[in-house]
Amino acid sequence: MGRLLLLLISPYLYSLLISTVALPTKPEGCHQLRPGAPFKIALFADLHFGEAESTDWGPLQDVKSTRVMSSVLDDENPDFVIYLGDVITANNIAIRNASLYWDKAVSPTRARGIPWASVFGNHDDAAFVWPIEWFSAPGIPKIRCPEANSSCSGEEDCSFKGTQRLELMKNEIELNLLSYSQYGPKELWPSVSNYVLQVSSSENPMSPVAFLYFLDSGGGSYPEIISSAQAEWFQKKASEINPDSRVPEIIFWHIPSRAYKKVAPLFWIHKPCVGSINKEKVATQEAETGIMKLLVERVSAKAVFVGHNHGLDWCCPYEKLWLCFARHTGYGGYGNWHRGARIVEITQQPFSIKSWIRMEDGSVHSEVVLSPFINRNKSM
């Protein structure tokens, strides 16, 4: 088997344009993998950098989160990383340019020369929430402002204004040659992280092996929802680049759709579901506006991956695709469950999608074959 490549598909073009410029140039081209190797992706979910930044506790959690990512990256050596939303806790960040924390979050991946892409979660551009304790006798604590010579600093560093999605994405893309993230079509704004990447073989770069779709599930500055406009964009894009549904499609967003509630285990995780923790109820988007109907009807749609719920890490079949949670990676955010990351592995011949969870301590569990799909009724 030849090497697999990761290719960027511009959302602004009607035809598929692909170049073959190897990294580390700006990723308008491909990322080549080792001969005969599958394409391995690490999902980092709910890092929550910048949470409780004004306390001693907050910065320590960011250090621990960096340690988790470093451990996973060194153990798995993935070809690609996806930041699956809630990269930062913007509602705790007093400085104007929250990209400082975003930059810290991607630093372990960047330091190892691994390309990545990101989608937004509900905390990434949430409005600053003033802690009530700041209005007690001790008063507002000293705010940790960025240094004046920081590449991400601004003139009003401690303005409490927050950083909107477009600015966060702009800073990530412009400051990082390894970022494959995109702004997405302007007609979908304020929903920003909507785009598609192509995985191809080096033997035939023009022939896709899989499409990776990224959708912004909202939250923060606007409702927690994948809109009907996004669903229409997905349908149009999929019809354009995969008209016969021949190429498998894998989809990533942050907040679970309501379909996740339909398949959620009641208590313990049992077949056909696979996972290790089921410690809370699924917190879904505010409404379902058509994206799941489209995915269920597409034979090429194989799996959806989300974050958001820190106490869930299962994969369950829904119709003929899989609905999967990642694993809570960051020490920010609620919950004391052990940290880790979900790994997704794509093999070209024969085509397959496998997934498992790699923990901070190096252990591995919850391996599951997501494609080819096995009828769940035969497993029950």
The pTM of this model reads 0.88
Place of tokens 């109907």: 293
Calpha distance 339→90 (Å, rounded): 21
Which neighbouring-strand residues pair with 352? 347
Per-residue pLDDT of the chain (380 residues; tens, 9 = 90+): 456 667 666 543 322 222 222 233 344 434 443 445 799 999 999 999 999 887 888 899 999 999 999 999 999 999 999 999 999 988 887 766 788 899 999 999 999 999 999 999 998 998 777 667 666 666 666 655 544 344 444 444 555 667 889 999 999 999 999 999 999 999 999 999 999 999 988 777 788 999 999 999 999 989 999 999 999 999 999 999 999 999 999 999 999 999 999 999 998 999 999 999 999 999 999 999 999 999 999 999 999 999 999 999 999 999 999 999 999 999 999 999 999 999 999 999 899 999 999 999 999 999 999 998 776 444 33
Q: Which amino acid is at 12?
A: Y
Calpha distance 92→170 (Å, rounded): 21
DSSP string, 211-247: EEEE-----SSS-S---HHHHHHHHHHHHHH-TTS-S
